[in-house]
Amino acid sequence: MNYQSAFKMLVSNFFGQANFLTVPVALIEYLDGDILAAIHLNRILYWASKPNLKNGVFYKRYGEWKSELYQPVKRLRANVTKFVDMGILSTKVKRVPIRNRDGELTGYGDKAVFYKVNWEQLALSFSAFEKK
């Protein structure tokens, strides 16, 4: 194997789609140049768009966000506070339901933050931003 082939293999292993944090420039501009908040919001929108969610609500622990976004928990909390203050996100801390293989509730686990995007407010505020 030559160096070019070896490098291509390395790149495909480490630089696949799952290993990128991307964000639309419009979100960065919408959040006044705050790229870290924009990356976080982009991932929130990604998770909230999953079709199997009940009422568009999903949960994550801050440790999971930290591993996914490579941002300190303090910064992640500040991002969430910013989004809540903007009216584009609501949160609630509660215990995670535990279900068996049949989907039946069997109990509750550790606490996590449950997120719900206010799509209407996001659309309105983003539209107002775009008209500037």
Judge whether residue 18 has pLDDT over 70: no
pLDDT value, residue 1:
65
C-beta separation of 67 from 76 below 8 A? no
pLDDT value, residue 9:
73
pLDDT value, residue 131:
73
Q: State mean pLDDT over 14-33.
A: 84
pLDDT value, residue 10:
73
Average pLDDT, the chain: 90
pLDDT single digits (tens) 45-58 = 999 999 888 889 99
| H-only helix segments in 1-132 | 3-14, 25-30, 35-48, 62-69, 73-85, 119-131
pTM of the model: 0.83
Q: Of residues 12 and 72, which shows the higher confidence score?
A: 72
What the chain holds in terms of domains, given with CATH numbers, is 3-131 (1.10.10)
Judge whether residue 72 has pLDDT over 60: yes
Q: State mean pLDDT over 17-40.
A: 90
Q: Who contacts 22 (Cβ-Cβ below 8 Å, separation ≥6)?
A: 42
Q: State mean pLDDT over 3-13.
A: 73
Q: Of residues 1 and 126, which shows the higher confidence score?
A: 126
